[in-house]
Amino acid sequence: MAKRVEGVTEKLLECAREEFLEKGYENASLRTIAQRAGSSKGAIYIRYPDKASLFSALVDEAANGIALLLKKIQEEFTELPGEVQADRVQQMSDEGISIFIDYIYKHFVEFKLLCCSSEPGFYSNFIHRLVNIDVDTTMRFIGNSSNNAVSSGRLTPNFAHLLSESFYTGMFEIVVHDMPREEGDIYIRRLRKFFAAGWMTILNDEESAG
Amino acid sequence: MAKRVEGVTEKLLECAREEFLEKGYENASLRTIAQRAGSSKGAIYIRYPDKASLFSALVDEAANGIALLLKKIQEEFTELPGEVQADRVQQMSDEGISIFIDYIYKHFVEFKLLCCSSEPGFYSNFIHRLVNIDVDTTMRFIGNSSNNAVSSGRLTPNFAHLLSESFYTGMFEIVVHDMPREEGDIYIRRLRKFFAAGWMTILNDEESAG
Amino acid sequence: MAKRVEGVTEKLLECAREEFLEKGYENASLRTIAQRAGSSKGAIYIRYPDKASLFSALVDEAANGIALLLKKIQEEFTELPGEVQADRVQQMSDEGISIFIDYIYKHFVEFKLLCCSSEPGFYSNFIHRLVNIDVDTTMRFIGNSSNNAVSSGRLTPNFAHLLSESFYTGMFEIVVHDMPREEGDIYIRRLRKFFAAGWMTILNDEESAG
Amino acid sequence: MAKRVEGVTEKLLECAREEFLEKGYENASLRTIAQRAGSSKGAIYIRYPDKASLFSALVDEAANGIALLLKKIQEEFTELPGEVQADRVQQMSDEGISIFIDYIYKHFVEFKLLCCSSEPGFYSNFIHRLVNIDVDTTMRFIGNSSNNAVSSGRLTPNFAHLLSESFYTGMFEIVVHDMPREEGDIYIRRLRKFFAAGWMTILNDEESAG
DNA sequence: GATGAATGAGCCTTCATTCAT
DNA sequence: TATGAATGAAGGCTCATTCAT
């Protein structure tokens, strides 16, 4: 039984990465990828059923990984006693955010591909997975608490969705702009403060407060 | 004098709009656009020298218009007396933001095209134009005041850029998500509060405050 | 009755000339010609039924003119008394050749178009017209004399044709290479000597002579 | 290993040859060539990067071959002792010319393509390669001898160029006119005599002779 | 007469994908 | 398994020509 030549898959993925980064998903050419890798188009099709799958192979692990990570962080928040949850505006702890940023920088190229080189819709799908996790936790948290943000209409699910999306899009600016780690750290932490402050204006019942 | 058959340009633009919206810039086909419009490929080329120009024709007016609008709003801010500026965190007045939102909703489809269907780089160019206007005003405002955000290193031009980008990207979420006008209004006003709060953490000298 | 705007035809021809010279027949564009002339494609079609006719309009007068000229020169030769003809190898007199060269230089651009910018086949048609005139005279001259070049098989009509073609192609080298008048004069006169010598080897019965 | 289906390349070249011959380079259509060959446009592009390369594939070997042949023949002339050179007007020996003609007839179709169906400039490039070889030898030969053709101004490089071009153009008349071998032989040998006589009028110092 | 919009065939080329070897 | 030849649809674009105005 013929075996896959060792290293071919890796070489193909590496060259695919370069090609996608340089030209974007649509304009990347499988022919060129195969050539760069010193391999053949057929070799790609043995491994991946089509162009989209090849792209996914480069990106899925990181995309799944960060979604899982976020889920875990959020679950840790959910498991906190109610009183502690109520004291926090951000669902990610300081430690949680650190791990999150770590993860992004550890898979920087993959997220670069996702942010800058994927087919239209692919990136937003990715963001939405994160957003859904985030919003789930948020809505559950508010539902469990006595906060009237939802019941008062200050917060709709759709609205929560958009705020979250804005936050995560903001986060991935560090990738889009190739921000060095240190700068990214500072930037994301400030972003959290931004959004913490923002959430305050929603969670707090200003009307009745005024 | 050969006159353009009435309505052909409009029909072409309309069908181009649809095609671009459905398939995105890269996958849109001039052939299909012409067919949809019951016209010919040549009819497109009489009007626009190439595919990119056809797209621009759909989008440029709105893109330029909103940039001009932002500039005007910012200039009005700049012309305010120094004390009044200092009291404000957001450079857009309530009235300014209303006009801004109005403009977006009046050209909703155009911004939809820009946000969701343009070639890679086209959308970010657009956002950057707005961002540059914004950052200019911000940096000048801080330069003219005695605020030490810049001198202390809390704010770099690059950083201001990213924050602004995050803000405007957030704004255009209302377009990406086809938010109805009323909801968009609320959303954007909240976004302002978010960022106002965020800016406070940068403008205020926390270090020395602590 | 609407009248042709004066000078339009001239302008069109002038710009067509330039376009054909620059790009060659196939790659010349009627659209471009009309634009250069500040006129319209329709204006061309009013005057000429198609692209080929426009080209002909630039070139036919010179092509016909030189053919007529050659005919006249050759007829003058034919009308010479038989003895005088026999003494001459070249059918063009010194005076004849001068007039001929004059004509070429007077219509240099037109011949340039013919030689370098016409559609494949057009140039050879032109040359063949000259060649046919030449060969007619030659064959008649030999038929009327007692020369055995033909009867001995040293000269076939086809062969005469080719020799003549080689001569006239050689002649138009002065056009192809933009030779200045003076140089062209010298060159063509040498060419005549070349061919005179060549013809000697055909007209003279070397076999029986040897 | 994917192997090219046998005969496809040959069929493509054959049909390309026909198409180019019938319509000329510009008007030949790759679509038609592929159809004629019962193949696909892609099949052409696997083999040749573009239209020009396909044409070259039909023609280059013959064009290079005859240039090399001419070089070899000329070098043999150059290596002759000075006295023997001086006795010869033509640089090609009888044997040399035979080999040359052989070569043309062995690649008749290829030269037909070159002469009658190539893009403007392609044919003259080809001729100029031969001419440059020829003129090099001629000028060197004259430089090494005591002949005053050059020093007296009777022969300029430019002029030698044109004479040579006229000669080779004349030669390829046998191709342009589909002359049968036997006739071509005779024609070319006569052409040599023509030019031998012509060269005499340049090499001989007529002035001082007179 | 003059215009240039409209046409649609046609151009060369690239592509993802299939499949015989 | 691996190859790359083969495919044919589709790409953007140019063109000579027609014809309503």
- The sign one gets for the Cα dihedral C61, C63, C67, C70 is positive
At residue A156, the 3 state secondary structure works out as coil
3-state DSSP percent of chain C in helix, strand and coil, to 5: 75, 0, 25
pLDDT of C1 > 70? The answer is no
The pLDDT value recorded for residue B209 is 41
- The sign one gets for the Cα dihedral A29, A33, A36, A39 is negative
The pLDDT value recorded for residue A1 is 36
Work out the angle at residue C54's Cα, subtended by the Cα atoms of residues D28 and D125, and round it to the nearest 5 degrees: 45
* Chain C residues close to D187, C-beta within 8 Å: 159, 162
Residues 99-128 of A with CB under 7 A from strand E: none
pLDDT of B54 > 50? The answer is yes
Q: What is the pLDDT of residues C101-123, one digit of tens each?
A: 999 999 999 999 999 999 878 89
Band (D209; pLDDT cuts 50, 70, 90)? very low
For the residues D32-40, what does the mean pLDDT come to?
A: 91
> What gap in Å lies between CA A80 and CA A145, rounded to an integer?
13
> What gap in Å lies between CA A40 and CA C161, rounded to an integer?
58
| Mutate: best of D20, D128, D154, D166, partner C, most C CBs <10 A | D166
For the residues C79-107, what does the mean pLDDT come to?
A: 89
Of residues B77, B109, B53, B90, the one with CA closest to residue B167: B90
Average pLDDT for consecutive 10-residue bins of chain A (210 residues)?
68 94 91 92 92 94 97 91 82 89 97 91 91 93 89 84 86 92 88 81 64
The pLDDT value recorded for residue A190 is 79
By C-alpha to C1' distance, F4 is nearest to D2
Residue at token pair 């055909």: C202
CB B195 within 8 A of CB B167: yes
The pLDDT value recorded for residue B17 is 96
* Amino acid identity for residue B170 in this structure: G
For the residues C32-50, what does the mean pLDDT come to?
A: 92
Of residues C105, C77, A194, A208, the one with CA closest to residue B198: A194
Size of interface A-B (CB pairs under 8 A): 83
Q: Among A151-165, B193-207, D183-197, whose mean pLDDT is lowest?
A: B193-207
Other CB atoms within 10 A of residue D145 CB: 14
Q: Is B123 exposed, middle or buried (0-12, 13-18, 19+ CB in 10 A)?
A: buried
Share of chain C above pLDDT 70, in %: 95
* Chain C residues close to D201, C-beta within 8 Å: 190, 193-194, 197
* Amino acid identity for residue B33 in this structure: I
Q: Which positions of chain F lie under 7 Å from any protein Cβ?
A: 1-21
Band (C4; pLDDT cuts 50, 70, 90)? low
Residue at token pair 């353009």: B4
| Mutate: best of A90, A119, A162, partner B, most B CBs <10 A | A162
- The sign one gets for the Cα dihedral A120, A123, A129, A135 is negative
For the residues C151-155, what does the mean pLDDT come to?
A: 85
The pLDDT value recorded for residue D10 is 92
> What gap in Å lies between CA B169 and CA B134, rounded to an integer?
13
DSSP of D144-173, one letter per residue? HS---TTTTTS--HHHHHHHHHHHHHHHTH
DSSP of A39-93, one letter per residue? S-HHHHHHH-SSHHHHHHHHHHHHHHHHHHHHHHHHHHHHTS-HHHHHH-S-SS-
The two tokens of residue B25 are 């810039």
Q: Is A5 on the interface with B (CB under 8 A)?
A: no
The distance (Å) linking the CA of B12 with the C1' of E12 is 26
Q: Residues near B179 by Cβ (< 8 Å), separated by ≥ 6?
A: A158, A162, B173, B187
Q: Is C116 on the interface with D (CB under 8 A)?
A: yes
The radius of gyration of chain D from alpha carbons, rounded to an integer in Å, stands at 21
Residue D154 is classified by DSSP as S
The pLDDT value recorded for residue A210 is 34
Band (B210; pLDDT cuts 50, 70, 90)? very low
Give the E-state strand segments of chain D in sequence order: none
Band (C18; pLDDT cuts 50, 70, 90)? very high
For the residues B73-102, what does the mean pLDDT come to?
A: 88
> Are C158 and D169 a contacting pair at CB < 8 A?
no
Angle between the A94-106 and A108-116 helix axes, to the nearest 10 degrees? 80
